[in-house]
A and B are shown apart, each in its own frame.
Chain A
Amino acid sequence: MDMQEKILRLLENDSSYTHEQIATMLDIPVEQVKAAIAEMFEKGIILKYCALIDWEKTEREFVTAQIELRVTPQRGEGFDKVAERIYQYPEVKSVYLMSGGYDLGVTIEGRTMKEVALFVAEKLAPMECVISTKTHFVLKKYKQNGVVFNKPQKDERRVITL
């Protein structure tokens, strides 16, 4: 594994590590860490740092839906152009081109189920290239980005053992 990948793996797991901590963990000078991270931002390898949040534990009311879209690829531009038209909407949190029974996997967030359903009905479904949509509401999130939600945080080990 080269140094760039080592830094990325650390940050992917916890982007709150300081440059100093990363330098200590990888036995390299802090300046090298700073330069490598700056370069990776520059090249668009690192896009942004963000927190993984369990919104269920907050007061915020919102729903997530995963939409399966079957679409007609655009002449000369394939699926990219269609995806671009879809990901421009702020309600759309992710868009993937998929193999298998449908073409685009789209994640949408909204305040209520009705809001999401209307978004699909009014914005996505009427698009000329969209052949069909299938909306699946997320009922419960168990694991995301390798992190299990609602896992007991308590350390169950005996506090001191030799």
Chain B
Amino acid sequence: MPEGALEIDRISKRYGDVVALDEMSLTVRSGEMLGFVGSNGAGKTTTMRIALGVLAADSGEVRYDDAPVDRTIRSRIGYMPEERGLYPKMKVLDQLQYLGELHGMERAEANRAANRWTERLELSERRDDQLQKLSLGNQQRVQLAAALIHDPAVLILDEPFSGLDPVAVEVMSTVLGEMRDRGVPVVFSSHQLELVQRLCDRVGIVRRGRMIADGTVEELRSSGPVRLNVHAPKAPDDWAEGLPGVKVESHQNGHTTLRLDEQADDQQVLRAALDTGPVHEFSRTRPSLTELFREAVTEEPDE
């Protein structure tokens, strides 16, 4: 049973003048699933590649179970690169067995695991087919099996859900959930934020090579701006102007959406609304992950 946490500790990487990662840090604990979000080019893939040792960092360290990740530990990581790829002309079972052996498994053991995973991912009938003869969805399943074949202690998956059909998304979610429940730290990047919100225990938002927000979905949502929806039919257009910490986002037919920052007092807003006449609705909403993400990555666009 894997027990360790994966820690990425202030890794930096530059390509000439381009800073790809700037002291990026993140921790995924045992039995935790972390969603890694950020716009394209923010540094997610680079972070994962460094964690895998496919790339070398300029500085910083990657640790598993408090020890720097070395070759032995690396071979226990399950990895799914963003650019999917296996040998197109190799048979499914041979391919998985080969990868298992490269990860240090005995031949027979790798063969058993390959059989088990093809069965689990409903690929039993395609075992002896060349990969290129499989549908795209099935190829993705083989790719997942390739990441799981050696019973990894850590899972690092780059965009595992992209290009999957809804059924495959369910299969993938279930399998990842099972791995997490067995104590494996799971980290995956995704642009499908609803999926991240639904599956992940924690979310890390990355921008320009830095982690700018990291916490449980609840934590992130409650730390974000609060919105109020007020329905006061008799209120004039400017009823909320001048209230401290309040910004009017929209006003239409007596429906007003307000955005409150930390210094705003919602009770003061309520009183101001009641002063205009009847109030039919006064509700507080938390931003969705999508909104949080949008704000996080669009804030101060030119630093």
To the question of whether A and B form a pair in one complex, the answer is no
Interface residues of A (CB under 8 A from B): none
